[in-house]
């Protein structure tokens, strides 16, 4: 217990470090630059006002998105993915993996499960004692299963997943803009340091810090923009999810535009605000079929239950959730694999980030 408490305290060290750097940057820019330097030069006083307005706008958006990334609880699978008491007792009694898988297949037959392990087994978390939804992974740091887990970020002391991925992207974007603005506006005073010994040390150091963070964040932000365009998580980049047709790293990709909407939502006016607008419930995601020909699609859909009901029974039946249709209606080549899905009504994607296992 003491060790866990120490680990929890130490986990906040990177966050405290970032908070101190941000607080110091605010003091250095507002007090040491805009107040001290510009008040000495009255003819450029209006420049200080413009600088302060833009600075505070970027500062507020940066802090807001960072706060939301840190304190938004990771979304966990709902209770429907937990085994019943009888199934759990039977699962624990069984010693043969084949028998355990049979129990899991029976429990998962009505769940929207589309992927399995590489060995075609149902993905089950022994720690949380639940069947893992697609794109869900167990975080050893948080000790919970996280929906659409991307990674555990020590700089926010939180898991980045379905509930806060949009906030994380905005945090990277606004921190990038914040550092760029600070470095660009401080540059001329950084140059004056070498010719003017009265230049402020804070201004010199502020330029170095802003430039350093800008370079490091730029690569990370670019990488996650690429992930959004491909509709992948960091985990899926290194280990492709396994579908009926085998591993497919692009299995959840619906095209760049739809992938973007899945993260940021349908209302573009909310895209740049750190408020939750992501589509879906985190447990159920539209998937891409490799076969796009309509005739082949029909034959494949009719034959798939027969294939999956063989000796291995690698996949359970695939019920369609109402929340999967919106991103699929405008493009006929994207479709879910079951024949019953053609009769599903189109509806708004539901957002639910408060479910706990």
* pLDDT, tens digit, 9 for 90 and up, residues 229-238: 999 999 999 9
Please check the confidence at residue 338 and state whether its pLDDT lies above 60: no
* Residues that are catalytic: 153
Encode pLDDT of 151-200 as tens digits. 999 999 999 999 999 999 999 999 999 999 999 988 887 777 666 655 57
Phi and psi at residue 199, to the nearest 5°: -65, 150
Query: Which pTM was predicted?
Result: 0.80
> Any idea what DSSP says for residue 343?
G
CB atoms within 10 A of CB 123: 21
Contact 77, 113 (CB under 8 A): no
List, for residues 189-198, the tens digit of each pLDDT value. Answer: 777 766 665 5
Q: Give dist(CA 231, CA 209) in Å, integer.
A: 32
Q: Are 3 and 146 in contact (CB under 8 A)?
A: no
Strand 246-247 vs strand 130-131: parallel, antiparallel, or unpaired?
Answer: unpaired
Render pLDDT for 68-112 as a digit per residue (tens, 0 to 9).
999 999 999 999 999 989 999 999 998 899 999 999 999 998 899
pLDDT at 289 over 60: no
């Amino acid at each position: 217990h003491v060790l866990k408490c120490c680990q929890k305290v130490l986990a906040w060290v990177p966050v405290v470090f970032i908070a101190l750097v941000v607080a110091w940057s605010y003091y250095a820019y507002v007090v040491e630059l805009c107040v001290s330097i510009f008040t000495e030069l009255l003819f450029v006083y209006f420049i200080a006002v413009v600088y302060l307005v833009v600075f505070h706008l970027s500062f507020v958006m940066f802090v807001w998105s960072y706060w939301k990334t840190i304190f938004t609880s990771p979304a966990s699978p709902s209770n429907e993915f937990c085994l019943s008491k009888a199934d759990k007792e039977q699962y624990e009694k069984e010693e043969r993996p084949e028998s355990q898988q049979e129990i899991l297949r029976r429990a998962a037959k009505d769940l929207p499960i589309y992927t399995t392990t590489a060995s075609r087994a149902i993905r089950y978390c022994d720690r949380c004692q639940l069947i893992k939804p697609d794109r869900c992974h167990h975080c050893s740091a948080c000790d919970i299963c996280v929906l659409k887990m991307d990674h555990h970020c020590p700089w926010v002391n939180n898991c980045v997943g379905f509930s806060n991925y949009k906030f994380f992207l905005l945090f990277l974007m606004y921190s990038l803009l914040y550092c760029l603005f600070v470095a660009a506006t401080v540059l001329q005073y950084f140059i004056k340091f070498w010719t003017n010994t009265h230049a402020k040390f804070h201004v010199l150091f502020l330029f170095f810090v802003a430039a350093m963070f800008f370079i490091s964040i730029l690569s990370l932000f670019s990488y996650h923009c690429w992930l959004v365009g491909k509709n992948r998580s960091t985990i899926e980049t290194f280990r492709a999810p396994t579908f009926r047709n085998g591993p497919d790293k692009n299995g959840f990709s619906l095209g760049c535009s739809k992938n973007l909407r899945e993260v940021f939502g349908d209302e573009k006016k909310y895209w740049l605000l750190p408020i939750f607008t992501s589509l879906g419930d985190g447990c159920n995601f539209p998937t891409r079929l490799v076969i796009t020909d309509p005739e082949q699609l029909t034959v494949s859909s009719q034959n798939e239950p027969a294939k999956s009901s063989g000796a291995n029974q690698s996949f359970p039946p695939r019920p369609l959730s109402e929340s999967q249709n919106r991103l699929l209606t405008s493009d006929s080549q994207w479709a879910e694999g079951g024949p019953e899905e053609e009769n599903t009504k189109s509806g708004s994607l539901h957002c639910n980030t408060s479910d706990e296992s």
